[in-house]
Amino acid sequence: QVQLVESGGGLVQAGGSLRLSCAASGRTFSRYALGWFRQAPGQEREFVAAISWIGGSALYADSVKGRFTTSRDNAKNTLYLQMNSLKPEDTAVYYCAARYLIATYHARDYDYWGQGTQVTVSS
């Protein structure tokens, strides 16, 4: 079992930055791939970024490449999403998710989810 709790959301102006955190419980945190997804009102949940259990290269959606960076600290059981150059279209509830070992792009592949944190970018 893995429990996930996101934090760090808020209101920011376009062009600004935010860093989201996802604190995980569970002794086998390091064995899980971790992902970020987001969902805007009236839209489907979409992939943002993900990182496999051993870290290394992360996966990113085209819409956030070059602006967002995800990383993990296995010693702290924490996943991060650094978001720079934010745009109004980045406004959404951001969720972190976990699945065993290998990161994928698809929400259906992830077994554990946090409750989400709201990110609002004003123009």
CA dist 36 and 77 (Å) reads 15
Q: Mean per-residue pLDDT for 5-12?
A: 98
The sign of the CA dihedral 27, 109, 51, 100 is: positive
pLDDT digits (tens, 9 = 90+) for 60-118: 999 999 999 999 998 899 999 999 999 999 999 999 999 998 999 999 999 999 999 99
Using alpha carbons only, give the angle 2, 96, 17 rounded to the nearest 5 degrees. 140
Answer yes or no: is pLDDT of 36 > 90.
Answer: yes
- Going by pLDDT thresholds of 50, 70 and 90, the confidence category of residue 53 is confident
